[in-house]
Amino acid sequence: MTGIPDIELSSGCRIPVLGMGTASGPIAPPEVVASVVIDAIKLGYRHLDTASFYQSEGPVGRAISEAVRRGLITSRSELHVTSKLWCTDAHHDLVLPALHKTLKTLGLGYLDLYLIHMPGRLKHGEITFACKQEDLLPFDIRTTWEAMEKCQRLGLVKFICVSNFSSKKLSELLSHGTISPAVNQVEMRPYWQQKELRDFCAKNGIHVSAYSPLGGKGTISLRWAFEQGVSFVPKSFNKGRMKENMEICRRSVASHKERYSQVSMWFHLMGNTKPWLNYGTEIIS
Ligand SMILES: NC(=O)c1ccc[n+]([C@@H]2O[C@H](COP(=O)([O-])OP(=O)(O)OC[C@H]3O[C@@H](n4cnc5c(N)ncnc54)[C@H](OP(=O)(O)O)[C@@H]3O)[C@@H](O)[C@H]2O)c1
C-alpha cells in the first residue's frame, strides 16, 4: 500500500492519481534526478513522468533498476512509467525508432503510457530547448498517430496518448485513428481549469492528466485537481515537499475544508485566466 489511490481509465487500465514529474529547468544533474526518483519510490510514488525532451529518461531508468536491486519494489511492473515522443521524432518513420531509443535509455521492455508530447513537428535532429523557425514543419496527425498505434500493437507500450492537444486536434485525431488516446496530458490548475477541454475528453473517454498543477499555490492546488477526478504530475525534487504532495490523497476533504473554502471562490472566479507558464494547450490550437 502506497497511500496513493489509483484512477481507472476508460481503457480499463489503472494509474496512480499522483505521479512524479521529472522535468527540471535548468536540467538537474543525472545523479540528482536518479537520487530523487529513488527517494520518491521509497516514499510510495509508483507513477513516474519522464520524456526524451527532459533528458530524465536515463536517470529515471537507473533509479528503477536500483529500486528493484534494493528491494524497494519487487519488479518494474509495480511502476507506471510514462514517456513522450518529442517533435523532432513526430515523423511517421521516426516514431518507432524514437520509442526504441527511449526504452533503451530507460532500460525497460515497455512503457505504460507513450504520449505525443506536442501536436507539432520539427526537423529531425538533436533535441534542444530552443527551436528555430526554419525547423518548424507541418504536423501530420494521421501518419504520426498511425505510427503510435503500431507501437501499441507491438506491445512496446500499454497505451498511446497525447499531450497539449486541444479539442480541435483531438477531434481530428479521433476521426482518423483506430485506437483512441487513453490520456491527454495538459497544463491544468485552479487558475487554468480547462473546463471545455475536460468536458470534451470526458465525452470521448479520454482521461485528463494535469501537468504543472501547482501554479505556485502548493498542495491546495493538488487537492483541487484530486477532486476534479484528474491525475496530476507535480515535480518536486525536495523530499519534504514530495511527502507533502502525497498527503493530499490521504487527508479527508474535511481537513482541507477551512483553507479550501477560503480559496475555492477565487479558483472559481479565476479559472479561465491565462496559464502562467504560457505553454498551455489553447495556445497550440
Ligand atoms: N506534457 C507537457 O508538455 C509538460 C509540460 C510541463 C511539465 N510537464 C510535467 O509536469 C511536471 C510538473 O510540471 P512543472 O514542474 O512545470 O510544475 P509544478 O509541478 O506545478 O511545479 C513545480 C515547482 O513547484 C515546487 N513545488 C513542488 N511541490 C511543492 C509544494 N508542495 N509546495 C510548494 N512548492 C512546491 C517545485 O520545487 P521543488 O522541486 O524545490 O520542490 C517546483 O519549483 C514536470 O516535471 C513534467 O513531468 C509536462
Give the residue, by CA position, lying nearest to ligand 1 atom 14.
Answer: 212
Nearest atom in ligand 1 to 221's CA: 20
Distance from the alpha carbon of residue 56 to the mean position of ligand 1, in angstroms: 14
pTM higher than the cut 0.75:
yes
Q: With beta carbons less than 8 A apart as the criterion, state whether 226 and 203 touch.
A: no
Strand partners, 15: 7
Q: Spot the catalytic one: 45, 54, 191, 211.
A: 54
Residue nearest to ligand 1 atom 5, measured at CA: 211
- Cell 479558483 found at: 267
Confidence at 252, pLDDT banded by 50, 70, 90: low
Atom of ligand 1 nearest to the CA of 213: 20
Q: Confidence band (pLDDT; 50, 70, 90) for 5?
A: very high
| pLDDT, the chain, mean | 90
State how far the Cα of 231 lies from the Cα of 52, in Å rounded to an integer. Answer: 21
283 Cβ below 6 A of ligand 1: no
Check residue 266 and give its pLDDT: 56
Which residue carries 520524456 as its cell?
51
Closest by CA position to 46, among listed 87, 75, 4: 4
pLDDT over 60 at 169, yes or no: yes
Q: What is the residue extent of each domain of the chain?
A: 6-283
Mean pLDDT, to the nearest integer, of 214-238? 92
- Under the banding of pLDDT at 50, 70 and 90, the label for residue 130 is confident
What is the 233 CA–ligand 1 centroid distance (Å)?
A: 7
43 in Cβ contact with 73 (< 8 Å): no
Binding residue per annotation — 124? Answer: no
Q: Are 194 and 203 in contact (CB under 8 A)?
A: no
Fold of 6-283: TIM Barrel (3.20.20)
Task: Give me the mean pLDDT over the 23-42 stretch.
Answer: 97
Does the annotation mark 260 as catalytic? no
CA-based nearest residue to 99, from 60, 157, 19, 178:
157
Q: If you measure from the C-alpha of residue 7 to the centroid of ligand 1, how many angstroms do you get, rounded to a whole number?
A: 21
Q: In what order do the strands lie in the sheet with 207-211?
A: 20-21, 47-49, 80-85, 111-116, 157-163, 183-187, 207-211, 231-232
